[in-house]
Amino acid sequence: MLVSIKWLEEILNTNLELKSLHKVANNLGFEIGEQQNLCPGDIVIGRIVKITPHPTLKNLNILEIKTTTHQQIVTSATNVKLNDLVFVVGAGKRFKEQLIGEMDFDGVKSNGMLVSEEELGIAEKSTGVIILDKGREGAHFSDYFDDVVLDIKVNTNRPDLLSVIGLAREFSIGLGIKFSFKERNPKQTNHTDQSLIKILDPDGCPRYTARIFEGVTVFESPFSVKWRLHSMGMNAINNVVDITNINMLLYGQPLHPFDLDLLDLPVIIRKAHKNEQFVTLEGTVFKLDENDLVIADKNGPIALAGIIGARSSQITNSTRRILLESAYFSPSRIAHTRRKLGIQTEASIRFERGADLSMVDEVSRITGEGFKTSAGAKETNYISTGKKTGLKVIPFSLDRMNTILSLNLKSEDVKNLLDKCEIRVSGKNQLKARIPHYRYDLQIEEDIYEEVARIYGYMNIPDIPPARWGVTKLYDKSRNFIKFLKSYMIGLGFSETYNLSLVSSERLESLGYSGFVKLKNPLNERFNALRPTLFLGLLDTVHYNLSKGNYSLKLFEVGNVLLNTEPFEEKKLGAIMGGERYPNFWENTDQKLNYYDAKGVVETILEAMRIKEIEFRNKEIKGFSQAVKIMYSDNEIGYLGAIDSSFCEREFYYFEISIDRTLSLVSEPFYNPPPKFPANIRDLAFLFEEDVEVPVVKNFIAHVAGPILEKVILFDYYKGKNLPEGKKNLGFRLYFKAPDRTLTDEEVDRFVNKIINEVTNNFGAILRTKETN
């Protein structure tokens, strides 16, 4: 936000020092960037007292100009006449770092130059010199127009600072100046024909006002208005448009004037039609869609709401009747269209951040008065429709505020502090803050605490280490656990990645997700939802690496996923792997990572967490050709799968584990002495029906054998050639061990025979022996 110091001084009625402004900005939490001195050189004001044609050179005139002395200047300007006030740079003076010399025009001396708008930089091209509406002969340019412009870095949550009044109000707090600027309140025109305005999209446009003026005269604004707009980074257009822009800069409320004679009423605020065309003031043509908000008449769009007007209804010198728009538009809708079409205007910046709904009517009234004064307009109609805003009240605790800020303020102290920023406080300990209409950033009690700290002065708050509120053992455990998990994954050969938490809703729907959070104000359609899974981010990273020729990848990410149902937010570990099993091995083994490698990683991780007795149960997951859910005691803690070829051209495998769900399952480490007695190991292979799940069989064997069976693992899985159709071979390795003795073969044989009988009877399995192979 550019702001003129001279304009701030006019509002605050005091002289301002740059050093003080920088200090206030730093203390109150915003930044002053670049600053520019607008005085272009040794310019003085002169009055033309004599005009004589050049005796030999056509199109040149010899002017006698009175400043503090009389000067002779030769000019080709055709817009000058006697008694005009002009800007003069005398010979030997500097203009924009250049020394102006005396010149000879066929024997006639010219002792300086007159200044044009083009030379001052306020117009791209000008045909004449600047003619002033007022000034004093001999006065220096700086006496009237010297200024310093500051570039204020306004935080996105402070749209009230996108106005000169808002910045003046803020500076007054830090400078200890009472802010007493009062808007004029002209006589209100009666409401008349309400049918002239129709809001068909109240979500996009909660409030719209229109004023109609007749007898308007359109002409160039005086130099003082042009210079003010130039100092604020805007171009002057004409007196009507310039008044709307001046008031937008002053109050932060964008306005738009339409040539009423070019409209076919009523004015309709609606969604654009699909592929509807819109031609801007500059002649650029855009295709719109149903997500865009337009101001239209019966013939089509006359403005992109809150962004830019159409060429078909612009104000020209022939305009005699005006419809003045002042409205409030949805920030998210303006942001969507602005980003999609790549248009950013002063109006869109303010609407996108959130304009002040309460100022819609007030600024419209003030601007109408400006039309009457400077354009001779007569107001004939005023239409206002839509909702109005009310004051917000936020309750807060004095004790809690003092505890958080490490202060000891009394209620009167807080009232006096917040009164500086027009927040009215009532109560003793349980206080209530009445929020001014322009402070949309203040929503919850913590915002009030921050405001108190800001006005009190961050530098005045005691430097006391904060109490570790909420930092419980659970938090420490979670933080240490994640640190361990990341280190462990790196030890397994994985590389950590960080991906955006924003994804495409269309891609989520293609994976079968429905319970995700969609953004109201997305960057674009590629990033319009919060991720409910880490899968898409890791998959995109894989695609990027594949495009660069990196085919062997093991990547992981630890991050939060967001849901629209409880628990709403969950921390997860996601990992993706594929390519060669030994990519850096000197011998070309040509072994590829497969599903069982990924499954082994999952088992290794969970074993490192000391989470045992997990199961893998088959599950159909969209986007995966083969998948299982990872279960612990009938609770799903994650899933694992082979990514479908429609999502990834190469064979890759993905797993995702809930850190929040597994954290409570992690047991404390304990010492387990090495076994004194050897295990008795037996291998059993069975022929099962194809739909029998491995975890079910493993759990069944463990149950039948009892505590004497230390563990059972699957060492062989086969289906296909040489096996009956619909059958598969599963080989299990059984570890029998007793803590107090070495088991005999006879003891183990009894358990093995029992297992064989129970498995064959309950699953219809066939024991595979050398004879049956």
Binding-site residues for Mg(2+), please? 441, 447, 450-451
Contact between 734 and 681 (Cβ < 8 Å): yes
What angle, rounded to 10 degrees, do the helices at 331-341 and 346-353 form? Answer: 140
Geometric angle at alpha carbon 335, from 333 and 336, rounded to 5°? 65
Contact between 552 and 545 (Cβ < 8 Å): no
Q: Before 567, cis peptide (omega within 30)?
A: yes
Instruction: Give the number of C-alpha atoms closer than 13 A to the C-alpha of residue 570, restricted to the C-beta side.
Output: 24
Q: How far is CA 578 from the centre of its chain?
A: 35
According to DSSP, residue 7 is labeled: H
Annotated binding site: 441, 447, 450-451
> Concatenated DSSP letters for 37-99?
E---BS-EEEEEEEEEE-SSSTT-EEEEEESSSEEEEEE--SS--TT-EEEEEETT-EETTEE
What's the rounded Cα separation, in Å, for the pair 53 and 62?
A: 6
Contact between 507 and 531 (Cβ < 8 Å): no
Q: Is 189 helix (H, G, I), strand (E, B) or coil?
A: coil
Q: Before 266, cis peptide (omega within 30)?
A: yes
| Distant-in-sequence, close-in-space partners of 14: CB < 8 Å, separation ≥ 6 | 175, 177
Per-residue tokens: 509: 């729907």
CA distances from 248 to 164, 256, 719 (A): 9, 10, 76
Q: How far is CA 105 from the centre of its chain?
A: 60
Nearest residue to 398 (alpha-carbon basis) of 420, 383, 417, 381: 417
Q: How far is CA 436 from the centre of its chain?
A: 25
End-to-end CA distance of the chain: 83
Contact between 343 and 352 (Cβ < 8 Å): no
Count of Cβ atoms closer than 10 Å to residue 166 Cβ:
23
